[in-house]
Amino acid sequence: MEWNNARDSDYPGRNTDGYLTTDKDPYMLDKSQFTHGLVSHAIKHAKDTGMKDFPSVLQNVKGIYNARAKSNGIFHVVGDTVQELSTVNDVSEKAFRNSMDYISDKAMNNIEIDETEKEVLNALKPLVDDYNKAAELISQDSDYTAISKDGNKKVHIKGHLTTIEQMGKLSTFMGFTNKKYKPKQSFYAGEETPNETQKAKAHKLLGESTLRQYIRTLILERY
């Protein structure tokens, strides 16, 4: 299936952790661009969807950045601060995730990327491919599907995993992490009421009330 591209927050990790760049004067990302697609979602949700390749991919990416840091230096950008590093051993996982997304955004905006950045994108490929395959499987073989009233949006649930489909394209694939989802309005008339079997399969971690709130929220949110 194809993926929708949404406006990107640029920080799948956390903005206080910043990101790594090979350029002392880094390309400034434009958050109005529609760069939050398959690659960004794979980086953001690799852990909560249980992608087995994530630890090895992360280790490979750390190695690529460390090699660059030792040979030519690397720059750590946090807000308006740019610090040159000779090693990335103390850089957080969140910063690495932000860095991977930063490179993906540059590539999607047709900004030239250097050899180090190309290596990082290539290292990401196994993770992105597995994430995409898993998202398609969940969408095609879900335990329960809720459909918006206009039929343009579908929420597919299987176990603790959820995909969202809009206008025939995937918008996200994520794992439920026990967050409290609050519906943006009191009632939603478009969801199909799950029967007992579907509810039992769908989210064993959730009670009926939380499951319904979760579905309402995903149907109403913009992806």
Per run of 10 residues, the mean pLDDT along the chain (length 223 residues) is 78 79 79 79 91 94 96 92 94 94 89 95 96 94 81 83 90 70 30 43 47 63 53
Residue carrying structure tokens 């603790």: 160
Confidence at residue 192, expressed as pLDDT on a 0 to 100 scale: 42
> E strands of 79-208, at which residues?
81-85, 144-147, 153-158, 161-166, 169-175
* pLDDT at position 8: 63
Note the pLDDT of residue 11. 65
User: What's the pLDDT at 3?
Assistant: 94
Rg, Å, the chain Cα set: 19
Structure tokens at 181: 């989802």
State residue 114's pLDDT score. Answer: 94
Q: Do 21 and 98 form a contact (C-beta atoms < 8 A)? A: no
